[in-house]
Structures are given as C-alpha cells and as structure tokens.
Structure 1
Amino acid sequence: MLLARLRRYFSDLLNMLAVAVILMNSAGSYAQPNDAEALALLSTVEQSLANVSYTGIYTYEHTGVIDSIKVSKMVVDGEVTSRMEHLSGREVKPIVHQSSLAACEEGLGQRQSAFDKSNLIAHYQFHQLGKERIAGRQALMLQAEPRDEFRFGYRLAIDEETHMPLLLALVSGNRLVERFQFVEFTPVPSPTLEQAPQASQNDHTLTGSCIDQTVQSPWVMGWLPSGFKLVSVKSDNGTDMYSYSDGLSRVSVFVSALAGGATLEGEARRGATIVYLDKVALGDRLFQVSVVGEVPKVAAQKIATSVVAKQ
C-alpha cells in the first residue's frame, strides 16, 4: 500500500522536482559554472509543472520490468484533474486525482521554507548533457550527481517547447535504478472543462489539497543524511509519519504502536523505493519502524536504527 501510494503517479515525482526548482532559484551564488547553467534551465520547469496540461503515455522501468501508463492532466480555472490508467501487467482501477492549484502552490511554499537555499548544490553536482529526442520531441538533458552514498543520482530530460520533464531516471553509479519516460506526450494549450478527466464508477477517485497537516512529534531521528530536512509530521490511527527531503530525494519514517504480536524486520525494494522495517522500544512497549523512500539501503538502515523517543 505504501509503495502504491508513493509511486501511483509520475506527476508525484514531477511535483517533488518543482520543490527542488524553487530552492535552486536562489542558490546561484553557491553554484559552479556548469551548475549555474543547469539551474537556469531548471528554473523554467517550475511554472510548467504547475500549469501545463497534457495527455500522454509513459513507461516505468525497474528491475527488468517495464510498465506502461496512460496519463492526462488538465488545469482549468485553477482546478487540477489528473487520470492514470495502467496499460500493462495486472489490471487495476484507473486513478483520478482532483486538487486545487492554489492549495498545491501553498503547500510547495511551506516546504520551501524548511530548506537551506543552497542545500541542493551542497549535495548534488549538476551537468548539462546536450539534447536527445524523447517521445518524438527535442529535449535538453540534465544530470544531478550525488556527493555522497546516501542518495541516488538523477537524469532528467526537459522538453524544449513546454519545459516539461519527459524523462526522469534514478541511478546508482552506472546502474539504472528506475526510469520514468514518456513515449507519447501531447500538450493541451487551453483545455476546457469538458476535456478534464471525468471519474467513472470503475475509477478510484482521490481528492484533496497538497498541504500537509503538522502535529506534535513524539519521536526523534538520531541520524539523517546530510541535507535532509523535515517536511511534515502526521499522525493517524496510532501511526506517526515523518517526511524528510533534500529537495530531490524524499524519505518517510512511520512509527506504529502495536496492539499485539511481533514486529517485522527486513526490507523490500521496488525500483528506487525501499521499505526497511525495524523496531524501537519505549519502556516495555515495542513500536514498528518503517522507513520508505527513494534512498539507498545504507541510508534507510541508518535512519531506521536511529529512531528514539523524545526525552
């Protein structure tokens, strides 16, 4: 369920990239010359992510498996409606997501304030890689190389016309971890309400804003990779969730009270997303710790074993 939620839609990653772009707009004084050129290009992506309407098909590749997903996103009068339909593999209900553009922008602004403006450049080195043809369109290639072993590298293709990302790949050294790539992409310049995706009885509908609600935090992470800052804290049905990001990568920590039975330990991975399970004691009670995010195993393991209760 957690993996499905984190990977249910390509645009979730694109929205995360929008957060990174906001931060990088004010990081130029820290950047090297090639970094500065890449950041200038990335700065054009922010508005496109929020405002460009489109239809398309993209592939999601991980561990030798390739899934095909049909997507559409329409922005009409400040309301955003997206639809995702799996075209391969096990049949699942299409997902329709409806949200407010104003609420999403407010949420991004809240996230921005949690970061040091030069955080990304301190932990990634950016390069321009020339042009490639993606989905029949000319795209500008960028690369973000991590400066330590606690995060993945990124490769990004930006459409020349719309400045929308057409490819997003996560890499570990020379190894591909996962890749999202459009094979069809059609911008919709001025969508009408009739063109917005409509939910049917067979669709799974999600509604709501992008704003995270914060609560009092009873747990502390004793270790996080350098540059990862707290984005939000949530609590629901005995589970506390903490989300952290360095501006590109994101990781969440779930601490759950156990009504009975043993805790689970171990790990599972799908593409770049790892689920690492551990436990933490508070007095004579055990709590399940679950670390979920787009980070290498070494980072997830160190985070999980560092969780302690506030004194």
Structure 2
Amino acid sequence: MAGNVIGKYLYGRGRGRLAVGLCVLSTCLLPLHLKADSYPSLSCADAPSQAPFTTAHEWLVASVYAGHCFEFQARAVSIDAIGVRTLALSHRVRDGVRQQVVQHLDGPSVSVERRSIAGHLAWFPAGESDSVSAPEAWAEHVAEYYDITLQDETRVAERDAVELRFSPIDSQRYQHTWWIDQATGLLLKHVLSDAQGRVLETFQVTQLRSPTAYSGEVPRPTDEQMLDQPWQATWLPEGFVEQPLEPGQQSGQRVYSDGLAAVSVFVSPASQPALEEGLHRVGVSNAAVLLIDVGDQSWQLVGIGELPVELLQRIVQSVQFE
C-alpha cells in the first residue's frame, strides 16, 4: 500500500478487481475531503542514505522512498492458490507520473499498466509531531497494529537483504513478511500468511536489473479530486483509514488501508445479471457481495481485500447511504 512493493501492489490489486468482475477503527468514519494538491508526498532528494540501517523503522521508511525513487526492470514469480506465474516488471517515472507495468510470461499474453502520481503516498495521520514525514507517519501507523521484527544477513535473487516480519497484534489481519534489498531499499519478496501460519501468497523478484535512483523533479498536481460519495462503511477493523481518491479510481469506490492490507468497497446500481450474492475467493483476496434496496433503487455492494472473510463481510454489511 505504501507503494514500495515491486509490482506487487499493481499486480495484486488490479488482478483482484478484474477477477471479481468489477469495471479491488472500531468507530464510524466520516468522508475525508482531501484535495489532490494536499496529498502526502515525498521528495526523492530527501531519501535517507543507503548506509546500513539498524532498526525496522529505518528500513520501512527507506523502502517507501525506494519504491518511488528507483527505476528498474525485473523478473518475478507469484505463487498462490491459482498457480505459479512468472512476470516481467518495469517501473519508471516520466513527467511526474509513475509508470508500473506487469507482463505475464506464462499462458495468454497479458500486460497491465498502472499510472499514479509520483511521490504521492497513501494517507495516514501523523503522530504528535507535525514535522513527521509522510513515510515516517506510515511506518509509525503500521507499527501500531503489527509487531515488527528485523533479521539481517539474508539473500534474495543473489542480493543481500534484510527480513521484516509483521505479526498482527489482533485477529483482524494477516501476517506479512518482507525481504528488502540492502543496496536500494526495494522490496524483493513478500509472503502473506493467515493466522495459522499457512502461506497464502508468495511474490518474489528473481532478477533485478539496472536499478537507478530517480533524481528528477516531481510536479504537484493541479486538479482537485474529492472523496465525496453518498455512502460510507460505518465499521472497519481498527487501524484502517480511508484513502484519498487516486486518478483512475472509480467514482463508486472507497479504499481503506491499515498500511499493509487494503480493502476496496464498490457500490453501484444493481443490474442484470448482478454478481452472485455471498462470499467469494479471488486468488489471495476474499470478496463479499451484498444486494440491498434503498428506497426504490437496488444496489450492489462489493468488498474485496486481503482480510479474513468474516471481517470483509462485516465491512460490506456496514455500508450506509446518506
């Protein structure tokens, strides 16, 4: 979610949304009216030096900068219940826009491209200090809901790496393990596991080619996009925060994240044929579909995310119209 997984963010979220057939706090949340030009952002000039870091927090912050500030080509493999896929990845920045491309190397030729504003991050509230940077606010938020342990001296794809283990402090999220490249801060491997320790997905870079630090300017956006929907989810797992609208995001969509996991909720007029109501499995993601009537209008509610299915269902059932 922080934008620092090599291709995984693009591949996993995009695949989930397409596969489901869509065009992917214990308290009520009010809509966040955030303008695009007020999004949290980072400057590659502020990236920490690549001297060896000693804490999990330092590596987390470095990984955020690396995900935005390195251009590269890579090969990767994704393993989950669907099967094994080999992928070609690329990441570059042009005219202030990040271009992430994933090409499937097995089976039918499939290429997916995602464009996003360079340097602009997911939104999480800063701590007590107003001087905390956006990457640091994200890292601090993650640490509130996961116990993070750091292990060094490991290798992935013939590169020296450090291992970070994220163990949830409650039963409302999955376990994550990251392997971060020591030379660049790029995420080389991600393993997602359930509460019983069963591996749900492994995503691993097998070859990283020509990682080059990006040093160009990142222009600020001029358009103002608002998250202003006539509905909202009134219950979320603790720590999940609504995210600002991104370019290309559907008007009937809200996205919530705890920093590692993300949940997308889609609301649209029910049409024929509607998606089958109930719970569905979409790769490593779960999906919940609910049909409701509000006045004389029927609505289809869909939630998809890497959360235990009972929590995802509860989120969808909590949607209320204004």
SS in 2 for 1:225: coil
- 1:150 alignment partner, one of 154, 158, 172: 172
1:230 aligns with 2:242: yes
Does structure 1 retain, via aligned residues, the 8 Å contact 2:124–2:241? no
- The corresponding residue for 2:191 is 169
Residues 189 and 261 of structure 1: CA distance in aligned 2, closer, same or farther (over 3 Å): closer
Q: Report the CA distance between 1:185 and its aligned residue.
A: 1.0
Residues 115 and 229 of structure 1: CA distance in aligned 2, closer, same or farther (over 3 Å): farther
**Worse overlay, 282-291 or 227-236:** 227-236
Does structure 1 retain, via aligned residues, the 8 Å contact 2:232–2:319? yes
Residues 148 and 58 of structure 1: CA distance in aligned 2, closer, same or farther (over 3 Å): same
SS in 2 for 1:151: coil
- The corresponding residue for 1:50 is 68
So what's the TM-score if we normalise by structure 1? 0.73
- 1:254 alignment partner, one of 252, 255, 266: 266
Distance in 1 (alpha carbons) for counterparts of 2:275 and 2:230: 19
Q: Report the CA distance between 1:252 and its aligned residue.
A: 0.9
- The corresponding residue for 2:45 is none
SS in 1 for 2:67: helix
Unaligned runs of 5+ in 2: 14-38, 43-53, 129-136, 215-220
Residues 102-158 of structure 1 show CA distances to partners (whole Å, capped at 9, x for unaligned) of x332x31x7245899443222111001333221111110001011122211110001
- The corresponding residue for 1:83 is 101
SS in 2 for 1:111: coil
Q: Report the CA distance between 1:43 and its aligned residue.
A: 1.7
- 1:159 alignment partner, one of 181, 192, 198: 181
Q: Report the CA distance between 1:14 and its aligned residue.
A: 10
Residues 191-206 of structure 1 aligned to structure 2 (within 5 Å): none
RMSD over equivalenced CA pairs, Å: 3.6
Q: 2:301 is aligned with what amino acid?
A: V
Residues 221-300 of structure 1 aligned to structure 2 (within 5 Å): 221-232=233-244, 240-259=252-271, 264-300=276-312
Q: Which has the higher contact order (CA 8 A, sep 6+)?
A: 2
Aligned residue pairs total 264
Q: Report the CA distance between 1:261 and its aligned residue.
A: 5.9
- The corresponding residue for 1:104 is 118
Q: 1:54 is aligned with what amino acid?
A: F
Q: 1:256 is aligned with what amino acid?
A: S
- The corresponding residue for 1:66 is 84
Residues 184 and 261 of structure 1: CA distance in aligned 2, closer, same or farther (over 3 Å): closer
SS in 2 for 1:121: helix
Q: Report the CA distance between 1:81 and its aligned residue.
A: 3.6
Residues 303 and 180 of structure 1: CA distance in aligned 2, closer, same or farther (over 3 Å): same
SS in 2 for 1:91: coil
Unaligned runs of 5+ in 1: 1-6, 23-35, 192-208
Q: Report the CA distance between 1:249 and its aligned residue.
A: 0.8
Does structure 2 retain, via aligned residues, the 8 Å contact 1:241–1:255? yes
Q: 1:151 is aligned with what amino acid?
A: R
Q: 2:194 is aligned with what amino acid?
A: S
Distance in 1 (alpha carbons) for counterparts of 2:83 and 2:237: 29
Report the structure, 1 or 2, having the larger strand content: 1
Residues 13 and 249 of structure 1: CA distance in aligned 2, closer, same or farther (over 3 Å): farther
Does structure 2 retain, via aligned residues, the 8 Å contact 1:70–1:85? yes
